[in-house]
Amino acid sequence: MTPESHAPTGTDRPRLDPPPGCPAHGLGPGGLHRLHESEDLGALYEKLREEHGPVAPVLLHDDVPIWIVLGHTENLHMVRSPSQFCRDSRIWTPLQEGLVKPDHPLMPHIAWQPIASHAEGDEHKRLRGAVMGAISTIDFRSLRRYINRSTQVIVNRFCERGEADLVGQFTEHLPMAVMCEILGMPDEYNDRLVECARDALKGTETAIASHTYVMETLSRLTARRRAQPEEDLASYLITHPARLTDDEVREHLRLVLFAAYEATTNLLSNVLLTVLIDPRFRAQLNGGQMTVPEAVEQSLWNEPPFSTVFAYFAKQETELGGQRIRRGDGLLFAPLPANVDPRVRPDLKASMQGNRSHLAFGGGPHECPGQDIGRSIADVGVDALLLRLPDVELDCDQDELRWTASIASRHLVELPVQFAPKPPQDVSETPHHKAVPAQRSDWQISISQSDPKPAAPAAAQPQPQPQPQPQPEPVLVQPQPVPVPPPPAAGEPVRRKGAWQRFLLWWRGY
């Protein structure tokens, strides 16, 4: 199908929607599929791939036209070609023509903001340079220790019960605790911050109030660090030579917090589910044939944290995946269908160990700068949880698990597990070297012999010499001592021993 037949940026088509239950339900003008009405996006992506190839025309809410990029190669080309595609939505034709209303459900994701992920050229270099510079100051050895400690604190909350929901009680809490530490506001981490971040990302009726609470928290942090910088990401953003304003600092802190929280929560949930239900992974993990980081990479292939990313926009007329893309057209970067592109993964059951060419973290100039943070949280968090609860297992049938899906991502609602109750661990003790135990005096390896005490000797009778008992051969063979020469006869001058003889006598203890 060519752009002339579907007119992705046109507005002259009648909007006659089929009634619910009709076979054509989910189709919009021109027979295009509405992504937001699909109950199985994975199946829809494969259908679109068969019908249109690696780039397909679809509709968003309010029948706003857009392209979705399904091919692995095409996605890479788009994100790596800043001369042809950008993240600046102000050039998007439907937005300029008024098709995208201010209250459009996806406007928070698409609306242009003065942040690195939407900037270009020198402005992009300035803003991203500040973000990358701040992230480069993170001590990942200390970060991994903090992730482990945070995991122990969170597991202590439910380890005695023998059951838990790992999504609501673990994966939604660990990323927020770690990110608060990285940003420089560990005291702000609490259940309310977790709830507000989760609520703001879900877009509920209280999402605006929740988003306001998070932004107020970040505003307080920005003001504190502007007055007194410390060793944290917020301080490095403020003191970076790029000279970010308070608004720019706050917006980038929001971007880092929300993006890392959303992505890492999904990643943790997906990795834990994979470890629990996939017998290959569980057996290999226990057998030492697969590490948790390898399980993380496999999960990034099969279930990336973000299914699609809003959005890229064509800066000029071009061609992509056999489709004619016009200037101002919008395109969805889609890691989920790209990772299962049959041209790069003909066998979806094949192991992807050691292969990091997935698109879970994007690519090109806007590649996720915090991907190593997300990997560290998943690696250390999952490993620490499995060490604390080695017998953890799923507490329901796999078919009973519930998911909430959107165009942007797919979320596991709950992950009920059971395990043998465990006592809490002390996480307040400072790591230190324990006292070295006292050394044994009888260090030589031998068989101990018990010597009975001899009876008291009689006064007038000589005592017989005890018979020597057979002893085991010593481990170390001692050299024979040098015999001591007899004293010289009277009148014979005493001759001084040579240096070598004196050394041997000293060495043998004579």
Per the domain annotation, does 123 fall within a domain?
yes
3-state secondary structure of 179: helix
Per the domain annotation, does 126 fall within a domain?
yes
Between 214-223, 326-335, 398-407, the lowest mean confidence (pLDDT) is in: 398-407
Per the domain annotation, does 341 fall within a domain?
no
The Cα 361–Cα 266 span in angstroms is 13
Per the domain annotation, does 430 fall within a domain?
no
User: What would the pLDDT profile of 209-242 be if each residue is shown by its tens digit?
Assistant: 888 899 999 999 999 999 999 999 999 999 999 9
Per the domain annotation, does 392 fall within a domain?
yes
Q: Which domain holds residue 225?
A: 107-320+360-418
Q: CA torsion angle for 87, 91, 95, 97 (degrees, to 10)?
A: -160
User: Amino acid identity, residue 414?
Assistant: E
- Write out the two tokens for 110: 């698409």
Per the domain annotation, does 470 fall within a domain?
no
- Exposure pattern of 239-275 as b/e (b: 16+ CB <10 Å)? bbebebeeebbbbbbbbbbbbbbbbbbbbbbbbbbbb
Question: What are the backbone dihedrals phi and psi of residue 264, each rounded to the nearest 5 degrees, phi first?
Answer: -75, -35
User: What would the pLDDT profile of 431-447 be if each residue is shown by its tens digit?
Assistant: 444 555 555 555 454 44
Structural domains in the chain (count): 1
User: What would the pLDDT profile of 251-295 be if each residue is shown by its tens digit?
Assistant: 999 988 888 888 999 999 999 998 888 766 665 555 556 678 888
Per the domain annotation, does 492 fall within a domain?
no
Per the domain annotation, does 87 fall within a domain?
no
CATH of the domain at 167: 1.10.630.10
> In the predicted model, what is the mean pLDDT of the chain?
82
Between 109-118, 215-224, 298-307, 338-347, the lowest mean confidence (pLDDT) is in: 109-118
Q: What is the pTM of this model?
A: 0.75
User: DSSP assignment, residue 59?
Assistant: E
- Write out the two tokens for 133: 């510079």
